[in-house]
Amino acid sequence: MLTSSQKATAQAILNIFETGSVRGEYGNVTVIRGDTGHLTFGRSQTTLASGNLADLLQRYCANSGARFAKPLLSFMDRFVAKDLRLDVDSQLHNILRATADDPVMRDTQDVFFDEVYWAPAMRAAGRLGIATALGAAAVYDGTVHGSFNMIRDRTNKQVGDIKKAGEKHWIAAYVQARFDWLADHPRADLRKTVYRMEAFQRLIDQGFWGLELPLVVRNMEISEASLHAVPPGCYDGPQAGSRALGLQTPLLRGLDVRLVQLALSDAGADVKADGIFGQTSSRLVREFQRTHGLPATGVADLALIARLIA
């Protein structure tokens, strides 16, 4: 049995692999050329083609407190049908990014990824007889990244099962077998992910079998502080209409910026709703103002914000 700290650390390692952050990026939207999963979303990057993305969004929309349920429901039939045209729907992508600001979505993702990835991985680790936190993290990685069973069988063929080889020797052999498989994979995007096994090998070499904190994985600190930090790219405020939005230094960031960007996207503007009011946001506000006969200042004052977010 892993402690809550060990579980959080194992999941943080996967978050670093998947989205480059300890807490994971709950609003991360990715489409990688050649990826059979197509549109991927969330802290642990669930996919359109697997059907898991539809499942996650249905769970979120079923919660009466889900802030972005209404716009997402208009896409739900297409998610269920695994409509690959969603890969390039920028308006949808902005809605997905905005859901990261909703604690309901973050909680839904945590529960969903525990059920879909973590729990099956820990059952597999238990069947193998794995007792170390690092070993459990390696199984979790294989479950999320794919082809765990195949690499498990290769490892058993090479060194025997865990009872025969010993857990630490078996995990080291598994990591090497997975490295070799990734390094020679016909898909370029998978070849690039050998860094995952390099990170595990470094933890093995350093003897961090218990995932004792603090750790450094791919130059990122995993500690009690980083495990409890606000997830990157998530905004709890300021509330829309509490301030005017314009270019300044440092750039304005927040929930109000994201909602203005989302409204501009809904109106057909080519904008990434990242919650950062930069040059593009200012230009698009200016274009909106011109189109609607308003002074083209590039500043979203309180009246314009109220009009956009009606």
Please report whether residue 133 resides in a domain: yes
Q: What is the CATH number of the domain that holds 262?
A: 1.10.101.10
Q: Residue 44's pLDDT is what? A: 82
Domain count within the chain: 2
pLDDT tens-digit profile of 277-293?
999 999 999 999 999 99
Please report whether residue 107 resides in a domain: yes
Residues 178 and 278 in one domain: no
Please report whether residue 278 resides in a domain: yes
Residues 164 and 119 in one domain: yes
CA atoms within 13 A on the CB side of 276: 10
Please report whether residue 243 resides in a domain: no
pLDDT surpassing 90 at residue 83: yes
The last residue of one of the domains, among 175, 193, 227, is: 227
Please report whether residue 242 resides in a domain: no
Domain range for 301 is 252-308
Q: Residue 230's pLDDT is what? A: 87
Residues 195 and 72 in one domain: yes
Residues 258 and 171 in one domain: no
pLDDT surpassing 90 at residue 34: no
Q: Residue 33's pLDDT is what? A: 82
pLDDT level of residue 210 (50, 70, 90 thresholds): very high
Report the C-alpha gap between 88 and 94 in whole angstroms: 11
Please report whether residue 234 resides in a domain: no
Q: Residue 35's pLDDT is what? A: 83
In angstroms, how far apart are the furthest CA atoms of the chain? 77
Beta bridge partners of 215: 222
Residues 56 and 109 in one domain: yes
Residues 72 and 189 in one domain: yes
Please report whether residue 236 resides in a domain: no
Cβ partners under 8 Å of residue 26, min gap 6: 42, 43, 99, 100, 105, 106, 109, 231, 233, 234
Cβ partners under 8 Å of residue 39, min gap 6: 29, 30, 31, 47, 48, 53, 84, 86, 87
What residue type is assigned to position 208 of the chain?
F
Residues 186 and 299 in one domain: no
Please report whether residue 68 resides in a domain: yes
pLDDT tens-digit profile of 253-275?
999 999 999 999 999 999 999 99
Residues 202 and 301 in one domain: no
Residues 205 and 260 in one domain: no
For residue 217, the surrounding DSSP H or E stretch is strand 215-217
pLDDT surpassing 90 at residue 32: no
Beta carbons of 26 and 234 less than 8 angstroms apart: yes
Which two tokens mark 198?
Answer: 């390099």
Residues 256 and 202 in one domain: no
Residues 299 and 211 in one domain: no
Residues 39 and 164 in one domain: yes
**pTM passes above 0.85:** no
